[in-house]
Structure 1
Amino acid sequence: MSSSKTHTRPKILYSCYFARSREGEHFIPEHVFSYQISGEMISSDSRKTYVFKAGDFRISKRNHLAKFLKIPPEGGEFKAISLFLDQEILREVSQEYKIKIDRKPQEDAIIPLNTHPLYKSFMDSLLSYLEVEQENNEVLFNLKIKEAIHLLLKVNPELKDILFDFNEPGKIDLEAFMNKNFHFNVHLNRFAYLTGRSLATFKRDFQKVFQETPGHWLLNKRLQEAYYLIKEKGKAPSEVYLNVGFEDLSHFSFSFKKKFGIVPSSLFSK
């Protein structure tokens, strides 16, 4: 039996879960500054896996793909606070203080931050703000976001090249990108954007590279990976379907049987 509650705000998010929970779509649209209050957050991109425990801080970088697994402590709750550092506010800060990046930021989607008393006191102060209706306090919450940005630059000045990189994804190698990121659960328009293409161009280029449609290719690629993980690695279907990009176990089982002629549970039991 799982239960969860989430207080959603336009710029600040307080999450509380009583059971394991996975995010839906794996695309990060804005930089996110997060504090783990209790429980664990396991995050993974196409390069690394990170484990964040109570007291840890992190930055999730915009325009990246990542998976998040929220794990509450035994008999307790998963709790975290996240601030969305939207582009409009970051541009305001950049223009006001004439901030420019010096180098291209690293590729990792998640940046662990060392614990710092200034981070802790700032996050503690946000708890009271979560009781305020944010729709009626836009100016107040924008100030808190700006405060967070200045705090990040003070404690970790190297984050400047991440926070103030306003470049959009450029056109990249489609085949290499898709083979590395097919297991992320995102819509085609996200894949198109991250490869520097319009949706129409993405579909056209995809057909040229793979000789089939993106939807058909993604389904087959995910099912093939699932077969390998169950058959060769002994993974349970209930674990595999999420790892390869399916949202629903029943849909995964149906698609698996249609392609391979057997249900995934029978392959796992062999």
Structure 2
Amino acid sequence: MGHQTHYIHPDLKLSGFDGTFYKADVLFEQHLLVWFISGETKIIQGDKTYWFGAGDTLLFPRNQLVTVINYPKNGLPHQSVVMHLTKKRLTDFYARNKVDIRPMQPPIFRTFDQHPLLKSCLASLIPYFELNEPLPDPIASLKIDAAITILRTIDTTIDHLLANFDEPGKISLVDFMEQNYMFNMRMDKFGYLTGRSLTTFKRDFKKTFQTTPQKWLTEKRLELAYYQIREKKRKPSEVYLEVGFENLSHFGYAFRKRYGYAPTEIAG
């Protein structure tokens, strides 16, 4: 099967994967509410790592960089229900439910473990994925509004995240890149998150770091890999994904080119 996504509505999908693992550096342009049905998920954000299993629920905030690695477990594929909380839908919701919000810096993803209210709401979507036609929008809207209402009930600060529609402003390149260099994002996405066009991002980057973004990113990722392997005694196969490489052989080639020997020669 590999990786498959089944949409019953533009904002509702069932995601599945039955390979060895599926890894992606992601930047969501809208909030995602996710309920894990089976399998295991590893999420890396900055210097923190989180694990989630069947029954757990979490909310991914928009415009946040994270690395997600999904694994099958106990003979079952990785499977999850995903609800998109779009800007339009949230704008409409909060037009009917006025709130005063305050800025949240930085907005991090929220975990709700196996809260029965959220679990029952998202589990009720499962039968709809057997439909032979799209789920009518009025029904989808009812389900999504119910999920937002539940989130507001169990997390009294969630409005400050969901009702904040500001776009990223111009921020320090040094601070942002030092915190996020391990994410494999397109340059225009890095530019957007730092409040710059692609052209301005490249110009400011060259002025700040005296090199190109790609060369700097490769160097920083190799330095982190070297530290993890030598000092933390981790295996190359354990770190190459986390530091931003997509392929183990390419990581080995780049490492040897930078340090003059293979990463396995310092692993122990």
Same fold, TM exceeding 0.5?
yes
What SS does structure 1 have at the residue aligned with 2:14?
strand
Give the Cα–Cα distance (whole angstroms) in 2 for the partners of residues 189 and 25 of structure 1. Answer: 15
* 221-230 vs 177-186, which moves further: 221-230
Give the Cα–Cα distance (whole angstroms) in 1 for the partners of residues 253 and 152 of structure 2. Answer: 50
What SS does structure 2 have at the residue aligned with 1:130?
helix
Partner of 1:50: 50
Give the Cα–Cα distance (whole angstroms) in 1 for the partners of residues 104 and 37 of structure 2. Answer: 28
Structure 1 segment 174-213 matched on structure 2, within 5 A: 174-213=173-212
Structure 1 segment 113-192 matched on structure 2, within 5 A: 113-132=112-131, 137-192=136-191
Match of 1:8 among 3, 6, 9: 6
Partner of 2:68: 68
Alignment of 1:24 onto 2:17: no
Give the Cα–Cα distance (whole angstroms) in 1 for the partners of residues 66 and 265 of structure 2. Answer: 30
* 212-221 vs 28-37, which moves further: 28-37
Give the Cα–Cα distance (whole angstroms) in 2 for the partners of residues 261 and 137 of structure 1. Answer: 59
- 1:208 is displaced (CA, Å) by 1.3
What SS does structure 2 have at the residue aligned with 1:202?
helix
Partner amino acid, structure 2, of 1:78: H
Partner of 2:239: 240
Distance 1:262 1:216, change over 3 A: same
What SS does structure 1 have at the residue aligned with 2:267?
helix
Distance 1:256 1:238, change over 3 A: same
Q: Answer yes or no: is the 8 Å Cα contact 1:20–1:69 preserved in 2.
A: no
Distance 1:49 1:212, change over 3 A: same
List alignment gaps of at least 5 residues for structure 1. Answer: none
- What value does the CA root-mean-square deviation take over the aligned residues? 2.2
Percent of matched pairs sharing the same residue: 38
Give the Cα–Cα distance (whole angstroms) in 1 for the partners of residues 148 and 169 of structure 2. Answer: 26
What SS does structure 1 have at the residue aligned with 2:25?
coil
CA-to-aligned-CA distance 1:121-163 (integer Å, 9 cap, x gap): 2112100122336757445434432332223223323211111
- 1:66 is displaced (CA, Å) by 1.0
What SS does structure 1 have at the residue aligned with 2:13?
strand
Give the Cα–Cα distance (whole angstroms) in 1 for the partners of residues 133 and 257 of structure 2. Answer: 48
List alignment gaps of at least 5 residues for structure 2. Answer: none
Distance 1:210 1:5, change over 3 A: closer
What SS does structure 2 have at the residue aligned with 1:180?
helix
Distance 1:221 1:116, change over 3 A: closer
- Between Structure 1 and Structure 2, which shows a larger proportion of helix residues? 1
Give the Cα–Cα distance (whole angstroms) in 1 for the partners of residues 63 and 21 of structure 2. Answer: 22
What SS does structure 2 have at the residue aligned with 1:169?
coil
Q: Answer yes or no: is the 8 Å Cα contact 1:134–1:141 preserved in 2.
A: no
CA-to-aligned-CA distance 1:99-134 (integer Å, 9 cap, x gap): 442x11252532112543321221121001223367
What SS does structure 1 have at the residue aligned with 2:74?
coil
Give the Cα–Cα distance (whole angstroms) in 2 for the partners of residues 164 and 254 of structure 1. Answer: 46
Give the Cα–Cα distance (whole angstroms) in 2 for the partners of residues 83 and 112 of structure 1. Answer: 15
CA-to-aligned-CA distance 1:153-208 (integer Å, 9 cap, x gap): 23323211111110111111110111111011111111111111111111111111
What SS does structure 1 have at the residue aligned with 2:240?
helix
Q: Provide TM-score, normalisation by structure 1.
A: 0.89
Q: Answer yes or no: is the 8 Å Cα contact 1:192–1:199 preserved in 2.
A: yes
Q: How many residues align?
A: 266
- 1:55 is displaced (CA, Å) by 2.0
Q: Answer yes or no: is the 8 Å Cα contact 2:43–2:68 preserved in 1.
A: yes
Distance 1:175 1:90, change over 3 A: same
